Amino acid sequence: MPFDPERYSRQVRFTPLGAAGQERLAAACVAVVGCGALGSVVAMTLVRAGIGRMRIIDRDVPEASNLPRQFLFDEADVAARLPKAVAAARHLERINGACAIEPIVADLTAVNVTRMLSGVDLLVDGTDNFEARFLVNEFACREGIPWVHGGAIGAEGRVLSVLPGTTACLRCLIPEAPAPGALPTCDTAGVLGPAALVVGAVEAAEAIKILAGQHERVGNRLLVCDLWDNLWRSVDLAPLAVRGCPTCREGDFPWLEGRAGTQATVLCGRDAVQVAPTAGAALELGALATRMAGVGTVVANPWIVRVTVEEGIELAVFADGRTIVSGTRDEARARALVARYVGN
């Protein structure tokens, strides 16, 4: 695959990449799953680096509260209410016209994951929830496709590169996905732009190494950083291999097969969608109510926590893990709201 030698001269002069590595980038296809804070940085960095093709999958539209950390978008995108995948593609095409960008406006689920993610050389995590990450992890392990996981919350970040069959996978690191509502999210705990920039940049660097064929540069490690406390460390994951892994070692794929995850249902005769965990879950409502207090006025009892998160949108979270999102009949939007405010 030819590339413009002048445009990429400074990357080619970096000898560990060289012309051979640049050629591999130009021939590569990457899927960026989720184009918010992390996805923006990764997509922009890889398109600038001369990737050949990129698929961008996102279910959301840009909002003003995204702009401090979602670096691809601007006020005109917020005003236009274009889906993030489409707005991102327009910006990226202006950055590099030689890169073929395929925007997909969709909610990644067990039903569509194979169609969405097939035919790429690498998957990059730009999502904000564990449900999507476990789906991507299982798809990557089943198909033998490398993927790069990243996460940022507050001023903290973490990055894990997964080379199926060689390094630890996400389930090696997190054997049981957290129950819905068990952890803070960026929308309840906040997040700083620099944390997204750092995590997105590290994800992009990992992607470039993998696509250039230099898997030995990736290692079997989890990077953890905290920009507020100036903490940087990298954790060796080789010891995890001792305890085995149902997914990457034994081929167990509960998320791909719909045995784990959530299901969204429009409630008959109501302007509401129910998002329920497939397997059921016991939820600690008291802690959730405390985390939600910064979002809006919380009304809580031992069975339900209610909070109005946006104008006209109320979430009612039940102790069995279900959430009823009132004010929409759009399943993808309801799932996005639950991922943002409850966490799944």
β-sheet bridge partners, residue 145: none
Tell how far CA 239 is from the center of its chain. 26
- Minimum Å distance from CB 245 to Zn ion? 3
The span from the CA of 295 to the CA of 313, in Å, is 12
Least distance from C-beta 123 to Zn ion, angstroms? 15
Q: Which is nearer to Zn ion, 101 or 135 (CB)?
A: 135
Q: Smallest distance, Å, CB 167 to Zn ion?
A: 9
Given the complex with Zn ion, which of 55 and 171 has the nearer CB atom?
Answer: 171
User: Taking Cα atoms as reference points, which of 327, 188, 344 lies closest to residue 275?
Assistant: 344
Comparing CB distances to Zn ion, the nearer of 81 and 259 is 259
Instruction: Compare residues 127 and 247 and give the one whose CB is closer to Zn ion.
Output: 247
Q: Give CA angle at 202 (118, 337), nearest 5°.
A: 60
User: In sequence order, which ranges of the chain are alpha helices (DSSP H)?
Assistant: 9-13, 18-26, 37-48, 75-80, 84-95, 113-117, 130-143, 170-173, 186-189, 193-211, 285-292, 331-341
Q: How far is the CB of 91 from Zn ion (least distance, A)?
A: 35
Min dist CB 116 to Zn ion, Å, is: 22
Share of the chain residues as helix, strand and coil, in percent rounded to the nearest 5: 35, 25, 40
Length of the chain: 344
Cα gap 291→293, rounded to integer Å? 6
Q: Which residue is nearest to Zn ion (CB)?
A: 245
Give the binding site for Zn ion (CB under 5 A). Answer: 169, 171-172, 245, 247-248
Closest contact distance (angstroms) between CB of 177 and Zn ion is 13
Short-list 147, 141, 97, 142, CA closest to 126: 147
Tokens encoding 201: 């940049």
Choose between 109 and 220: whose C-beta lies nearer to Zn ion.
Answer: 220
Q: Which residues contact 268 (CB under 8 A, 6 or more apart)?
A: none
Residue 17: both structure tokens together: 């990449």
Return the number of the residue (144 or 302) whose C-beta is nearest Zn ion: 144
113 versus 245: smaller Cβ distance to Zn ion: 245
Minimum Å distance from CB 227 to Zn ion?
A: 29
